[in-house]
Structure 1
Amino acid sequence: MRRRDFVVGALGAGLASSGALDPFARSHPTAKAADARRSIPYGSAVRTDLLVTEFDYRAAIVDYCQLVVGEGGLKWFDLRPSQDQFVFDQPDRLIAFADQNGMKMRGHTLAWYGAMPEWTQTIGSAAAAERELVHHITTVVGRYQGRIPSWDVVNEAIADHPESGATIRGSIWQERLGKRYIELALRTAAEVDPSAQLVINDYNIENPTQQCSDRRQALLDLLRDLKDRDVPLHAVGIQGHLPGDMDIDRDGLSKFVETVKEMQLDVLVTELDVIDNKLPAFEYDRDQLVAARAREFLEAIFDAAQPSAILTWGITDRYTWVPMWFKRDDGKPNRPLPLDAGCRPKALMKVIEEFTRAAE
């Protein structure tokens, strides 16, 4: 579904189930908006500097995407080099690019255990942690109020191996504030921008392993607790970094999505790619297996509910995080994304197009 075929309009399934407005809707649809009313927006994580230096990369984003999210830029490490300094260069440039090309930008992320600047280790008390987190969210969300419609407010809060009484991942926020940092982040973001979709984003919930089952349950328990206490929350982001050699727990994932929707929460696919380090070397075969794994994952979600957006963590194999952690033993390049290193579409893009057109 190239951009020229995806005419701007009332994009996505929206938040009808939660009673909220569609965060990705366009305020000024074109005359052909009716063509897009049944479509789900597709987007990609973007390396902002490359939009200036690599024409084919920029063209691919413009051609295929209705949404963008920065790979970096809004993470604490990039945004806060010192306690008294905010550097908005990257997100400002990305949102300008999005505005110029009729796209929406997602915000990633406000509270995360990772990519923290060293100075945050000097946060020594609960009062200091609360003050710093509130100041950060107030400043960042306030800068983009009304312009970034959807935020990953809390990223990867669930422990890798949840245990009774220890289901929340360790972080400076967890260590200083305990579990209440999650509520604090959500309430602060809601106060600063009441129109924004507030998302809890997490990973490793889709495979038929005990770990994934435990993480699904821990995440559901967290969501129920927040909902029971009327903490503002609108959606769950399912990242979807899929091990190519592992089946999808279709029943488990579908039931998870069904339960999330029963809580009147929306679902987004936020960081889809397929980790291919254990798949065959031959590129055609590998691309087909990557596409099949993504299809299995998306089918399990769609069996329960229609997500309001599908984003991949990058668009071209030329730029992907995967070889940093999952380099292939045979030395061949990883191929986890919808376009190859030359920005040509692969089987995975066809699968994504099929599902983004499948809205009803």
Structure 2
Amino acid sequence: MTTLLPSRRKFLAQTTGSLALGLSGLSAFAAEPPHLSRAAGAAPIPYGAAVRAGALASDPTYRAAVAAMCEIIVPEGEMKWSDIHPKRGEYRFENADALVDFARQNRIEIRGHTLAWYGALPAWTSEFANGAEAERELVDHIETVVSRYRGTVPSWDVVNEPLADWPQDRFSLRPSIWMNRLGPEYLPIAFKATASADPDAKLVLNEYDVEYHGARFEARRKALIQLLRWLRDRDVPLHAVGLQAHLFAGRTIDRDGLQALLAEIVALKLDVLITELDVVDKDLPGKIGERDALVAAMAAQFLDACCEVVRPKAILTWGLTDRYTWVPTFFKRADGMPNRPLPLDAEFKPKPLFDVIEEYRRKFA
């Protein structure tokens, strides 16, 4: 049993009834004091989750569970452009600052997400007249945000989801204001601006849909490696690749293809993070026990393939509890039953997915 920090013990002691029974087994996700981790050997792979500032403020049980179980948190939306930079020349840091303060108070690391993405852009960004203006605004945004959290946010998803849905090569990048005005050069611009604002930060390119069998996914793996090589050949500051790992029931993990991709990433001397793990259960059976087992099995297939090639620097799920998840917004079940994509259910009880993550995060310990 992992030794709990005082705040973790207090949380578990104050939790009562069935919720207490569910949370009593969660201490394995608690951050271990460094001296205990070293004495016991290699520390487990750090676990973390995407969190919501609003839920942290309004739901005490959620706040306590995140503090008890996460060694890393990442803002689900609070550091995206639409939240933090809603108008030209106007920055709103209240929600992002709240998450940074929460992480500091609970001795949790916080990752930054995200600096250059096609999505979550405020309407004013569509007004860029030319490439020079787009570059100026992109660099100003990155310098302002990253400098504010320099020394506090040690890792950034600098570029998120750059590849087109079905890319032909490394320059088949997703349409966006950045591609429209700057072309592929927006990636080096973003990475260099981030490195300039915080030379100590670990810079990550975050991508999805590279795990499965099928021509589209094979094309995405090929284009991703080509893009990474292009960036490295140009001495662009890049330290890691984030695999989102939004897993879908009905798709099949391409173990050989995924492992070949990971081997190429390792050969480029880049780290690997699992950044947004969950399992979309839209098409799985309704029976809870059966569904939870299938969700866990799919995550196990993915994690087993990854961990056979590389020790991920972190495993993060896109949310901690089914009470707060993006999945039903886009993948609501036809039977009307709640989605169950995350390690804890809506009442904060651990599910088989929790056990799978625990197994693989300790695989190298």
The verdict on a shared fold, with TM-score over 0.5 as the criterion, is yes
1:254 equivalenced with 2:259 (yes/no): yes
Q: Tell me, what secondary structure is at the counterpart of 1:180?
A: helix
Contact 1:186 1:233 in 2 (8 A): yes
Q: What is the letter of the counterpart of residue 346 of structure 1?
A: K
Q: Tell me, what secondary structure is at the counterpart of 2:53?
A: coil
Q: 2:358 aligns with which of 336, 353, 356?
A: 353
Contact 1:8 1:36 in 2 (8 A): no
Gaps of 5+ in 1: 10-28
User: What does residue range 143-182 of structure 1 map to in structure 2 within 5 Å?
Assistant: 143-164=148-169, 167-182=172-187
Q: Which has the higher helix share?
A: 2
Please name the residue that 1:308 is paired with: 313
Partners of 1:31 and 1:196 in 2: CA distance: 26
Please name the residue that 1:18 is paired with: none
Please name the residue that 1:271 is paired with: 276
**CA drift at 1:39:** 1.0
Partners of 1:97 and 1:245 in 2: CA distance: 38
Partners of 1:124 and 1:34 in 2: CA distance: 58
Identity of aligned residues (%): 50
Partners of 1:88 and 1:157 in 2: CA distance: 25
Q: Encode CA deviations 1:23-70: one digit per residue, 9 max, x unaligned.
A: xxxxxx345553473311000000111112111111211121100001
1:72 equivalenced with 2:77 (yes/no): yes
1:118 equivalenced with 2:123 (yes/no): yes
Q: Tell me, what secondary structure is at the counterpart of 2:357?
A: helix
**CA drift at 1:192:** 1.1
Partners of 1:124 and 1:241 in 2: CA distance: 35
Gaps of 5+ in 2: 3-25
Greater Cα shift, 297-306 or 36-45 = 36-45
Partners of 1:80 and 1:306 in 2: CA distance: 35
Partners of 1:240 and 1:108 in 2: CA distance: 16
Q: Encode CA deviations 1:302-331: one digit per residue, 9 max, x unaligned.
A: 111110000000011111111111111111
**CA drift at 1:154:** 0.1
1:197 equivalenced with 2:221 (yes/no): no
Query: Given the two structures, how large is their TM-score scaled by the length of structure 2?
Result: 0.91
Please name the residue that 2:32 is paired with: 8
Please name the residue that 1:326 is paired with: 331
Q: How many residues align?
A: 341
Q: Tell me, what secondary structure is at the counterpart of 1:167?
A: coil
Partners of 2:173 and 2:121 in 1: CA distance: 18
**CA drift at 1:164:** 4.7
1:342 equivalenced with 2:344 (yes/no): no
Partners of 1:4 and 1:331 in 2: CA distance: 33
Q: Tell me, what secondary structure is at the counterpart of 1:69?
A: strand
Partners of 1:329 and 1:4 in 2: CA distance: 35
User: What does residue range 94-109 of structure 1 map to in structure 2 within 5 Å?
Assistant: 94-109=99-114
Q: 1:84 aligns with which of 71, 86, 89?
A: 89
Runs of 4+ residues over 6 Å off in structure 1: none
Partners of 2:186 and 2:342 in 1: CA distance: 34
Please name the residue that 2:15 is paired with: none
Q: What is the letter of the counterpart of residue 107 of structure 1?
A: G
**CA drift at 1:163:** 2.4
Partners of 2:248 and 2:78 in 1: CA distance: 27
Q: What is the letter of the counterpart of residue 60 of structure 2?
A: F
Partners of 1:348 and 1:191 in 2: CA distance: 39
CA root-mean-square deviation: 1.4
Q: Tell me, what secondary structure is at the counterpart of 2:87?
A: coil
Partners of 2:229 and 2:109 in 1: CA distance: 29
1:44 equivalenced with 2:49 (yes/no): yes
Q: What is the letter of the counterpart of residue 183 of structure 1?
A: P
Q: What is the letter of the counterpart of residue 103 of structure 2?
A: A
Please name the residue that 1:13 is paired with: none
Q: What is the letter of the counterpart of residue 199 of structure 1?
A: V
Q: Encode CA deviations 1:229-281: one digit per residue, 9 max, x unaligned.
A: 11100000000000022221111001101110000000000000000011011
Greater Cα shift, 158-167 or 30-39 = 30-39
Contact 1:6 1:36 in 2 (8 A): no
Partners of 1:165 and 1:358 in 2: CA distance: 34
Structure 1 residues 89 and 214: CA distance shift in structure 2, 3 A? same
1:244 equivalenced with 2:256 (yes/no): no
Contact 1:3 1:62 in 2 (8 A): no
